[in-house]
């Protein structure tokens, strides 16, 4: 299988850590986030990964040039940010022959059992979203589920959240999801795509560790909380 690893953000909330490094190369206990992600991909049989980059692109390219551990990695530098959904649309040809593929947000630290999430996916669904409970749902993309774990609503950063199940930045997608990307600059997965697919997606509640390290507070907390790739441990960001 293939996976998009979305890593092109500026990381402004992580400054000064991102003054000289991109978010995806920030270390967790000495190991760059990108290395953690590629190791997870290798563990679950993902053989090709496309990483998009923008800020500090040369550092990402240098890291990937040294990577020799079972996953073929391509780097696409965006001179101007396309938006998370825009990146998928721009690189659609890369997955044009695949019936399903992964989408990962590179600033999410996790040891999710991807095999379990893949087994949970149903072929008739456009996508399966990884979900986890958060204490601050106004800051997240919030999904509600019906009795069959089908997503019945999805709102990005809701003023009045309907629950606390947040999109974890892990998504198993089919080509139908690409057909739902609007033709607009900066198209975003959470704002512009997932709300269009309500009723056609399932939500998988991740029991393992999930932490969005997109803020200084969470990044610093990750140094203490991260259990590593082998243990199962849950935490809300």
Confidence of residue 11 (pLDDT cuts 50, 70, 90): low
Both structure tokens of 42: 């290798």
pLDDT digits (tens, 9 = 90+) for 52-101: 988 788 888 988 888 777 889 999 988 888 999 999 999 999 998 999 99
Cα distance from N-terminal residue to C-terminal residue, the chain: 28
pTM, two decimal places: 0.92
Q: What kind and span of H or E run contains 142? A: strand 141-145
In angstroms, rounded to a whole number, what is the distance separating the alpha carbons of residues 81 and 8? 7
> Which domains are assigned to the chain?
2-225 (3.90.550.10)
User: What are the DSSP calls for 6-74, one per residue?
Assistant: E-----GGGTTGGGSS-GGG-EETTEEHHHHHHHHHHHTT--EEEEEEBTBHHHHHHHHHT--SS-EEE
Complete DSSP assignment for 201-220:
EEEEE--S-EEE--SHHHHH
Residue with token string 């965006």: 78
User: What is the pLDDT confidence band of residue 237, given thresholds at 50, 70 and 90?
Assistant: very low
* Helices 57-65 and 33-43: angle between axes, nearest 10 degrees: 40
The per-residue pLDDT for range 110-142, each reduced to its tens digit, is 999 999 999 999 888 999 999 999 999 999 999
Q: How many Å apart are CA 206 and CA 106, to the nearest integer? A: 17
216-234 burial, b if ≥16 CB within 10 A, otherwise e? eebbeebeeebeeeeeeee
């Amino acid at each position: 299988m293939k996976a998009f690893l979305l890593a092109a953000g500026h990381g402004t909330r992580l400054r000064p850590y991102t003054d000289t490094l991109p978010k995806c190369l920030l270390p967790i206990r000495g190991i760059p986030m990108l290395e953690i992600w590629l190791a997870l991909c290798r563990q679950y049989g993902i053989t090709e990964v496309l990483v998009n980059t923008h800020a500090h692109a040369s550092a990402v390219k240098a890291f990937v040039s040294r990577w020799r551990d079972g996953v073929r990695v391509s780097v696409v530098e965006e001179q101007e940010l396309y938006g998370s959904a825009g990146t998928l649309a721009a690189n659609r040809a890369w997955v044009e022959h695949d019936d399903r593929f992964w989408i990962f947000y590179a600033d999410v630290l996790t040891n999710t059992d991807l095999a379990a999430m893949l087994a949970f996916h149903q072929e008739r669904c456009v996508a399966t979203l990884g979900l986890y409970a958060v204490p601050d749902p106004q800051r997240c993309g919030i999904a509600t589920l019906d009795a069959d774990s089908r997503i019945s609503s999805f709102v990005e950063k809701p003023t009045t959240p309907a629950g606390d199940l947040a999109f974890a930045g892990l998504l198993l997608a089919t080509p139908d999801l690409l057909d739902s990307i609007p033709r607009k600059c900066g198209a975003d997965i959470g704002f512009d795509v997932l709300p269009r697919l309500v009723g056609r997606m399932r939500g998988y509640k991740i029991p393992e560790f999930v932490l969005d390290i997109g803020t200084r507070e969470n990044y610093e907390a990750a140094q203490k909380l991260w259990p590593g790739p082998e243990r199962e441990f849950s935490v809300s960001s």
